[in-house]
Chains A and B, each alone.
Chain A
Amino acid sequence: MNKQLAMVIDSSACIDCKACTLACKVENNVPEGKWRNWVKRSEPDFNKPDWMVHSASFHFQPGGCMHCEVPTCVQACPTGATYKDEKDGAVKVDPKLCIGCGSCIPACPYGARYRHPTRNIVDKCDYCEKRRARGELPACVVTCPTKARVFGDISDPKSDAALLLKKNQSVRVINKESDTKPNMYYLSATAPLNWPVKARMPDPIQLWKMAGPLIWGIVGLNAIGVLIMLGKQILMNDKAPETDESHEETRQS
């Protein structure tokens, strides 16, 4: 069975210290104003008179690229520069094939992608690929003081992530209209839940999906035209009529 790298998160352990987002920025040289990961928060509704009665509290939810099972970003990329690596199940960006067209950015319901202002390509979480090559865990995972983020191969039943998933109930945060089957699991329950947006294919990509068959159809029609002419040439002994020739002769003189 193929590997599936995933993150299993106990969001109730998160204290919103944001060390994970900082560690990520330092590790991956994420430019100013851009983030590869985040901590979302839900606040109690203080307008409700009984907010204290319901033991309402803040809840913090760490996240990042969810390396989805059905990645809409991959569906939006024309060249395969964004692809789901079958070897480890991670969604990756080939930095030398990506031309930074940004089609994938609105296609992600989680806003996990941004266009890098100086590298001019799309960038996002790669589970700290360089650290993993050295045998280390992603920066956000090792940094977390409460160990809210657990990372591993969930198709390996002995991995920490798989064990956690097995022992606990878990939920995934999705937009109902765009269920991309994210590989980010939250233990028991989490909040907020209403923030992922509907995946949006950019207009040119949508139009391409419609115009593609039309263009191929025109090419095909012309190819058929050529085949008809070729068939006629092979099968028919087609000579210009005599009268025609003599007519041309007279015109020449």
Chain B
Amino acid sequence: MPSPTRVIHKRIYEVVPRDLERAGTVSTEVRRELLALGMSPDIVRRASIICFEGEMNMVLYSAGGRIILLVRDDRVELLFSDRGPGIADIDLASQPGYSTAPDWARELGFGAGLGISNMEQNSDLFKIRSRVGEGTVVRATVLLGIPFF
């Protein structure tokens, strides 16, 4: 395993379930943090989209949880962890178009079933683990430049 790179910046955000007034505010905050750190527009954009999709999933479906922003020398990491209910079949839930969204979420323009795949497509490294009855953890990484040289 490569040695972990230095953490430059760390923020922890609480996500309140079903709080539609505030849904999306963690992501706009993360975006502002990354811009203030002088990250490139492409990195900011991808990380913001990942964060927004993850945050909306937590607001819409989870019992709440938190998002951790970790900026390292060579990467931006977003860690999502919630307190349940967990995802029984992650492969199915990641399929574009698969959704268990209630009508009220669809009426807001969300819940089209594109969230997890969109998070994955904007990440360089993406890991999701879940246990039904316990919760879901996601680690999404955006690499800054090419790390292999």
Chains A and B come from one and the same complex: no
Task: Write the residues of chain B forming the contact surface with A, with a CB cutoff of 8 angstroms.
Answer: none
Task: Write the residues of chain A forming the contact surface with B, with a CB cutoff of 8 angstroms.
Answer: none
